[in-house]
Structure 1
Amino acid sequence: MSTTYATLEIERKGSVATLWMNRPEVLNAFNEELIRDLAGACAELDADDSVRVVVLAGRGKHFSAGADLNWMQRASGYSEAENLADARIFASMLQALSGMSKPTIARIQGAALGGGTGLAAACDMAVAADNAVFSTSEVKFGIIPAVISPYVLRAIGPRHALRYFQSAERIDAEQARAIGLVNEVVALDQLDAGVASIVEPLLAGGPKAQQAAKQLIAAVAGKPIDAAVAEETATRIARQRATDEAKDGISAFLEKRPPAWLA
């Protein structure tokens, strides 16, 4: 049984959970409540072993237009200490989403602006409709995309970030794919099918191996290829081979049967 959230809906189909942001009247813009609900739902789904893949989506015509204007107005009157506390809550939510132990996919249509771009980048993968538009628009308001920056930088790299963090240009779906912000672009009416085309192969993999793969990327990305990295990778594969999941997966392949996680 899922927790009831004021700003979210959790839809379960088999081992796939779709986390629907449900504020379409404000284009699924963030406020304090949505941020809190997203953090809670990520923790809930991460702890649920029956969930293999999490899809993040937005109800209505848009994924997320970023910060709610009323929230931004309130924040403009905060002291620096109050702003720091507020930003830490947002940062913690993005960290919870990015750090989930299972694959995450952003399902994006329409606007994915500011924090919406950050949500897309915090997911492991992203599928965008051809009407999707992105922007790190913060400088237009005299602020910076600080909290979302680790995730956007991970996706697009510093060279593209130097442009878009400063220009706040709109990025269409095809350009987003070209710079690495999304993996796939599909027609709007094929968005669910595009997500499903990624979900299907994900469900075939071992869940513990996928978790270990995410941890592996975090451990070696950006590091020099030296003896320390070589030792890190050797240690990780040795540890993974010793797991029950790996032993069953290899036996299943040799015996031409489904592994336990598919049985």
Structure 2
Amino acid sequence: NTICPIQCPIPNCKERCQSDDHFHAFSDLQVNHFCGNEHQCRELCEDNGICQVVTKPKEQEEIYEGLVKETSITFTKYIQLSERLKCNKKIPPNEFKHTGKHTHKENGFHYCDAKCQFCEYYCTLPYGHTLHTHDTGHGIMTQTEFTGEDNVFEYAGYKLRVGDQGTFVLCNLFCKGLGRHRHIDYCQNVINCKDENQGRDIQHINEKVLPNPDKPKDFISHKLFWKRTGFKDPYSVQDQQEFEKCDYECPDDENLSYSNNEF
């Protein structure tokens, strides 16, 4: 047999060496047993951003068992799928690699790589966009846990405890279930809080609050809460206007009314 029997060195190529000299490897110091064909590059795209984001999330039914014994919540879990695609370039015959960087498409669209810190959904705007806020459809709050002024409290008709996970509620529906409300966040300027110079959207909490009770915390407005995320507030203008109002209920002789005080 006069044909070289060695397989082409390009990964996943099953062709034999193109040489018809069985002993050609002995005729030179360096011999690459290429098959002589063009090959598809199999490396991943190196462009900045996310190659592909499925904007219609995958759905699956799940059950969340709460920290309060009788709390069991059936919910629909939404999963945003993202993927870094493979390079679409061809490797020329008798070469180990193509010129230029790996890309799934020359000058192709890539999504922004910013993630919502609560649901980990990617921003669906183009990579490098110049808008001041990111935007996405939002999913369930897999990266959050509940806290509150009371250790046990009620949310959306369910009894919860501080430390319960937010895996059953969507980012863009969570605040809707609270009505007028305020959020709890870690204090970002202890000196300003001590001087009572923290601004209208912040009220320092003097008590210790779980989790991490030794880390100082603040009440913050809905508006500031979403501003800190870097993502566009997903709620309607009407909802946002309602959330700006005071969340404190003042009892009177006949019914409950909301105070006009601001923090």
TM-score over 0.5 for the pair: no
Bigger helix share: 1
Q: Normalising by the residue count of structure 1, what TM-score does the alignment of the two structures yield?
A: 0.21
Larger Rg belongs to: 2
Q: Which has the higher contact order (CA 8 A, sep 6+)?
A: 1
Bigger strand share: 2
